[in-house]
Amino acid sequence: MNKVESDFLSHLANERNYSPLTIDSYRRDLDKFFKFLLKEDVKMDDVDLIIIRNFLTEELNSGVSKRSCKRRLSSLHHFYNYLLVNSYVRINPFDFITSPKTEKRIPHVMYSDEIEALLKANQERKDDLALRDQAILEVLYFCGVRASELVNIELSDINIRNRVIRIFGKGRKERMVPFTFQCANTLNKYLKESRPLLQSKNPLLVPYLFLNNRGQKLTTRGLEYILDKIEEKTGEYVNLHPHLLRHSFATELLSNGADLRVIQELLGHTSINTTQIYTHVSEEKVKKEYLSAHPRAKKD
């Protein structure tokens, strides 16, 4: 890693407050590009449209998806903006590059009857971790938070009386997310009955809301493991993962008339374009319901 790259990554961490995962993604994208420049014997400030197109062609020919290439170009565009601002280069050559078009993937969602079945099945569990897992499911679904956001919720971020959680999203951007009475009751019960038992396994006080079975801070990998175990313990195999519940949260709000801008704020999306994918999901639901319910919709 050269000094300029190191300074840029420090800038992302200290000034932009990017998460370690995002910074690592930038690092890998830059390393890939620098290896290409080294092979082509091109200096960083001599990059032009031809070099970028050759890099992109090599990536696509090696099996890298258009979606990954689009993300990599975005990282490099950001990096060269940093170089431009700090007078390392005179222009940003990535300003003139069009990213490869990718198909918009409509996210898979669970609808309200499926969610209710999952929550009910988990409530019937009798093991010691059932209540914690129920609280996790309800916060993911009723608040629509990301996995990284859920594991970083601290006890001081929750106001059960007013039914709101303070969430720190990407770039440490803060937002307030409300939750239902059902979620409030579950969280209150978890905090009184289940969490103290988990905390007692660890001599150090942990300020985070959700703990693992050793009383330590939950990680995103640990969260994925818990969701896998929920499927095993409930028998509800729905390919459960944090974003499935986040997608379901957004789709349910949209289907019930919530404004797209409100959903954008609740999800912590920077751009309304990211939120608009849920309009397509809702349209798919309408079509599905129509085909199953209308007597003349099916072929004779």
- Of 220, 197, 199, 245, residue with least CA distance to 150: 220
Q: Which two tokens stand for residue 3?
A: 């000094």
CA–CA dist 76, 73 (Å, integer):
5
Write the Ramachandran bin of 107: left for phi over 0, alpha for psi from -120 to 50, otherwise beta: beta
List 11, 32, 170, 285, catalytic entry: 170
List 146, 190, 195, 247, catalytic entry: 146
**Among positive and negative, which fits the CA dihedral 209, 213, 218, 222?**
negative
Burial class of residue 68 (count of CB atoms within 10 Å of its CB; 0-12, 13-18, 19+): middle
**Among positive and negative, which fits the CA dihedral 81, 86, 87, 89?**
negative
List 72, 195, 246, 247, catalytic entry: 246
170 is catalytic: yes
Say if residues 145 and 137 touch (Cβ distance below 8 Å).
Answer: no
Which residue in this structure is represented by tokens 């990017």?
Answer: 18
CA–CA dist 4, 86 (Å, integer):
10
DSSP secondary structure code for residue 191 in this structure: I
What does the angle CA 268 – CA 147 – CA 217 come to, to the nearest 5 degrees? 125
269 is catalytic: yes
Q: Which two tokens stand for residue 206?
A: 């942990």
List 32, 243, 280, 285, catalytic entry: 243
List 72, 132, 195, 269, catalytic entry: 269
The residues annotated as belonging to the active site are 146, 170, 243, 246, 269, 278
